[in-house]
Amino acid sequence: MPAVDGLPVEKTTFERKSEIFKMNEMDLPKQRAAEKALELIRDGQVVGLGTGSTAKFAIEGIARLVREGLSLKGVPTSIATERMARELGIPLIDLNEAGTIDITVDGADEVDPDFNMIKGGGGALTREKLVALASTKRVILVDETKLVSRLGESRLLPIEVLPFARRMSASRLTELGCVANIRLQGETPFVTDNGNSILDCEFGPIDEPGTLEKRIKIIPGVVECGLFIGIADSLVIGFNDRVEVRERPA
């Protein structure tokens, strides 16, 4: 297996996510979910704009609302989202200007029955979490394939780390019971919008995601973890023939 800094590499997660704008058989459920979420956006709001294939449809819909006369300001969660929103004519501000965000619309890689999530397949986990935590309402858009009984069933867990310490961080992460793979873009390590690296960690099904998140966050060199615990408020699920809206269990 190829390696960087002595760490195994993980190409498949990023390469799969790097194709997020290609049409595929799951586009219809994603579009359904995005259109339903637009009903929650009101005039005058500050709106967090997510990153990824499902959020893309929401951003396109928000741009349509702006063209139709809705007044709002968007806070992008990645450089790619910022670029797309500007091209579509959505007025933007950054998180420092926004302060409190009224509503954020974003996607997820996995969601468990308690609305805990794995995010970060596109590498924007740190900004996505910051924007979500600054938001009064967090709306998560998924298709039915993202629903799992336990996090980690189908996805690796992305963890953003300082490049300076990625070997040390990976070593400490393996002590928690995972295989840590350095994410590549082409033949070189993937670089986040914050200038950091991503370790895609294979934990398998996670029994206590909240506890694991806390243990990961205290590891030296870790910037942010792709576990989003207790953050999602509403889940909009797209199916081939319908949309369901679920609220987080009390």
Which pLDDT does position 7 carry in this prediction? 74
Which pLDDT does position 26 carry in this prediction? 64
Give the residues of the chain that fall short of pLDDT 70: 1-3, 10-26
Topology given in CATH for the domain delimited by 27-147+229-239: Rossmann fold (3.40.50)
Which pLDDT does position 1 carry in this prediction? 55
Catalytic residue flag (residue 128): yes
Which pLDDT does position 14 carry in this prediction? 43
CA separation for the pair 139, 93 (Å, rounded): 20
Which pLDDT does position 226 carry in this prediction? 98
Side-chain half-sphere of 22: how many Cα atoms within 13 Å? 7
CA separation for the pair 87, 67 (Å, rounded): 13
Say which residues have a Cβ less than 8 Å from residue 126's Cβ, sequence separation at least 6: 160, 192, 194, 196, 223, 224
CB atoms within 10 A of CB 235: 22
Instruction: State which CATH number among 3.30.70.20, 3.30.70.260, 3.90.1170.50, 1.20.58.100 fits the domain covering 3-17+150-225.
Output: 3.30.70.260
| Residue 164 buriedness (CB in 10 A; 0-12 / 13-18 / 19+) | exposed
Which pLDDT does position 25 carry in this prediction? 64
Residues of the chain with CATH 3.30.70.260: 3-17+150-225
Q: What is the tens place of the pLDDT at every residue in 4-57?
A: 777 777 654 444 444 444 456 668 999 999 999 999 999 999 999 999 999 999
Rounded to two decimals, the pTM is: 0.89
Residues of the chain with CATH 3.40.50.1360: 27-147+229-239
Q: Which of 10, 128, 160, 213 does the annotation list as catalytic? A: 128
